[in-house]
Amino acid sequence: MARKYREIGKAGWGYTAITSVVGFIYFFPVFWIILTAFKTRTDALAVPPKLFFTPTLENFQSVFFRASITTGTSQATDMGLYFFNSIFIAFTSVGLALIVGTLAAYAFSRYPLKGNDTYLFIILTTRMMPPIVVIIPIFLMFRLSGLAGSYWGIILLYTAFNIPFSVWLVKSFFDELNPEIEDAARMDGATERRVFFNFCIPQILAGLSATFVFGLILTWNEFLFALLLTGVETRTVPVAMARTLGGEVGVDYGLLAAIVTLFLIPIFFVTFLLQNQLLRGVTFGTVKK
């Protein structure tokens, strides 16, 4: 039994069945959240909890349109804007961090500065520190400079948040490349720019996408900074989620579950598409090809 899985071999459909069961048990809380999204308010809080019920799309509808109690007409909520904000802010800042981080990583890998390791250490420390350490001054700084509530404020902050990870990961990918190929290209008269864009970047594309997914997963759900630093116009979905909690009639679990389900879809697809690259990402690129 034990030796079976230690060797990386092939297994058949029987094995798929076993792992699916385990996988599904692990997935169960997510499954329950998705189920809740299709439940009416009574079903969501039924005693005992209901596994079978008549599904309704009401919750998904009320994510975007809420019936006004006084007039009975349906009114558009701002949730569409919040979804746009989340996608725009996360993709822009992770993308920016990747570009800026790749440039820095290339320098750290190919043109070491004096005190290279010290810079790298400081960069890593900024990623490791608890956000609570800087949140007070950032809050004050944003308030004074007028960055609070603007797209640029939160995007720059998230970019900074993602740079350390990008630099470290991408540097490890550059380090793995064989510099002889680059030297050969230089001998043939390729400019530095060509070496970078035509020889180095294409070879680490997989690594770059891993870095992207990883940054995205970590940024997608950020709550604390978003709570303090976004305004009505720039609010992200996690903050909007938290705001649905404070109702007078208690938490509307169906509505919240619908938001969670919708919010899961984009990140799920990106991760699914880039799954193989993600494996390389978590190890800081220490897995050899």
Partner 1 sequence: MANTANSRGGFGAWLLDPKRRGALLVTPALVILFVMNIFPLMWSFGLSFFNYKASSLKVPKFRGLSNYERVLTDDKVWERFQTTAIIVGSSVIVQLIIGFLLALMFAKAFPMRRIVLMLVLTPMMLSFVSVGVFFKLFYEPTFGIVSYVLNFFTEDHFVMLGSPAGAIAGIVIADAWMWSPFVMLLVLAGLVSVPKYLYEAAEIDRASAWRRFWTITFPYIRSLLLLAVLFRTIETFKLFDIVYIITEGGPGSSTETIAVFLYRNAFQFFKTSQSSALAYIVLFIVIVLTNLYLYAVNRRAEEVS
Give me the amino acid identity at 234: T
- Tell me: does residue 9 bind partner 1 (CB under 8 A): yes
Please give the helix or strand (H or E) that residue 75 lies within, else none. strand 74-76
> Measured in whole angstroms, how far is the alpha carbon of residue 267 from the centre of its chain?
7
Rounded Cα distance between 243 and 83, Å, is 14
Report which DSSP code applies to 246: G
- Tell me: does residue 207 bind partner 1 (CB under 8 A): no
Angle (CA) 261 251 40, round 5°: 65
Comparing CB distances to partner 1, the nearer of 88 and 223 is 223
Which residues from 33-62 bind partner 1, rule CB under 8 A?
33, 36, 45-49
Alpha-carbon torsion 14, 17, 20, 25, what sign? negative
Cβ atoms within 10 Å of 116's Cβ, excluding its own: 13
- Region of 53-61, 63-71, 75-83, 215-223 interacting with partner 1 (CB under 8 A): 215-223
Query: Out of 82, 267, 274, 277, which residue is the one contacting partner 1 (CB under 8 A)?
Result: 267
- Tell me: does residue 13 bind partner 1 (CB under 8 A): yes
Query: What are the backbone angles phi and psi of residue 184, rounded to the nearest 5°?
Result: -60, -40
Q: How far is CA 168 from CA 176, 202, 211, in A?
A: 13, 18, 10
- Tell me: does residue 193 bind partner 1 (CB under 8 A): no
- Contact mark string toward partner 1, 159..178, x via CB under 8 A: xxx-xx--x----x------
- Region of 63-71, 177-185, 198-206, 267-275 interacting with partner 1 (CB under 8 A): 267-275
Query: Out of 7, 180, 188, 248, which residue is the one contacting partner 1 (CB under 8 A)?
Result: 7
**Per-residue b or e along 48-84, where b marks 16 or more CB atoms closer than 10 Å to that residue's CB:** eeeeeeeeeebbbebbeeeeeeeeeeeeeeebeebbe
Comparing CB distances to partner 1, the nearer of 197 and 272 is 272
Query: Out of 80, 115, 118, 121, which residue is the one contacting partner 1 (CB under 8 A)?
Result: 121
- Contact mark string toward partner 1, 221..260, x via CB under 8 A: x-xx------------xx--xx--x-----x-x--xx--x
Comparing CB distances to partner 1, the nearer of 76 and 282 is 282
Beta carbon of residue 237, minimum distance to partner 1 (angstroms, whole number) = 8
Query: Out of 82, 91, 106, 174, which residue is the one contacting partner 1 (CB under 8 A)?
Result: 106
- Tell me: does residue 152 bind partner 1 (CB under 8 A): no
Give me the amino acid identity at 252: D
- How many amino acids of this chain bind partner 1 (CB under 8 A)? 104
User: Whose CA is closest to 224, among 238, 234, 210, 213?
Assistant: 238
